[in-house]
Amino acid sequence: MLHFLDGLRNVTILSTFFRLMLACVIGGFLGLERSYNNKPAGFRTHILVCLGGCVASMTGLYLYLVAGLATDMSRIGANVISGLGFIGAGTIFVTHKKTIKGLTTAAGLWTAGIIGLAVGAGFYEGAFLGMILVLLTETVFTRLRDLIQHTPPSTLAVSYTRREELDIIVNHLRHENCKITNLKVAGNTNAQTALYNALITLQPNAEMDFTDICRDLEQIDGVVSAEIL
């Protein structure tokens, strides 16, 4: 612990002002990165969350140390941590491409609130180090994530004439170690011959050859065509 901060760990006017200002600064630093990258929750939101956590933590200390009430100092903070989940959930959404966005922002808001609790409790060292690590995670670690090789999902379009062929198609894809993440089927019975169209979203492995898979599917009796979109 840094002993020169010991005087600011007691509940005084000076320490209250210092904690509130520090919570605003830390929340602002965390929110700047989110605002710069046009994320749902930015500068002001992170300040308010961090500041709210700080006030909640100080309130618990005040009720116990100053007001002399027989209360659990950590109870308010525990409820703040639970409540932050509802705020973070508002930043998570699913795009039209069925991908999830906002998880990092939600986790950052949750962490900002907890850092605010640490500031309010006088745990300045933990709050400062937490802020540094969050900023590193949202900046440097983002670049490291982009270096990780991953295979994007692919959409397979299959046309077939008999409804029961879909089970054969799905079993063949699973036999080829294709992970099916989404499946949509549309039928057209207005023509002389019924035609069904299936859009199958696959999460393939790096070694998978879709040319061979499509060719194998077209060999199945009843399958009209198979291609990757």
Q: What's the pLDDT at 25?
A: 92
Domain 154-228 in CATH: superfamily?
A: ACT domain (3.30.70.260)
User: In the chain, where are the structural domains located?
Assistant: 3-147, 154-228
Question: What pLDDT, on the 0 to 100 scale, is given for residue 109?
Answer: 87
Which pLDDT value is given to residue 146?
62
pLDDT the model gives residue 21: 94
- Tell me, yes or no, if the pTM score tops 0.85: no
Asked if 163 contacts 144 with a C-beta cutoff of 8 angstroms, the reply is no
Which residue ranges of the chain lie beneath pLDDT 70?
94-100, 145-152, 187-194, 204-208
The DSSP code sequence of 151-217 is PPPEEEEEEESSTTHHHHHHHHHHHTTPEEEEEEEEEE-SSSS-EEEEEEEEE--TT--HHHHHHHH
CB atoms within 10 A of CB 48: 20
